[in-house]
Amino acid sequence: MDGGCRDTSFIRKIGFPVFSSFHTPRDIVGAWVPEEFDAPISIGGVIVRSGDFVLGDCDGIVRIPAEMVEDIITESERVIATESLVRKAILGGIDPKEAYVRYGKF
């Protein structure tokens, strides 16, 4: 995520998500040596600790601290349920503005 990646097209083609700062033809053999295990790291200026969740898609990457994961999952499920109700209401013919007023989300 905070460095280069080679063979990006191939990696994506086989369905493995990859996020990098740049593309490079360079291999890591001889250039990358682990110094610690289970230690905090900095990625793009963000500290990531063991147990944190790091999730990404084409819109970006987010870090969820381990101690917040359960709360984030609960809130995400609530938001998804509300968005589903809004979608069904609009597809059922309700004006989008009315759906927003009714559910408070869009």
The answer to whether 57 is a known ligand-binding residue is: no
- pLDDT confidence of residue 74: 97
pLDDT, averaged in runs of 10, over the chain (106 residues)? 85 89 85 88 93 90 96 95 94 94 83
The answer to whether 6 is a known ligand-binding residue is: yes
Query: Which pTM does this prediction carry?
Result: 0.68
- pLDDT confidence of residue 52: 97
- pLDDT confidence of residue 1: 66
Burial (CB count within 10 angstroms: exposed 0-12, middle 13-18, buried 19+), residue 33: exposed
The residue length of the chain stands at 106
The full set of domain ranges for the chain reads 4-64, 69-103
- pLDDT confidence of residue 60: 86
Alpha helices in 14-95 (DSSP H): 69-91
- Measure the CA–CA gap between 50 and 53, rounded to whole angstroms: 9
- pLDDT confidence of residue 38: 93
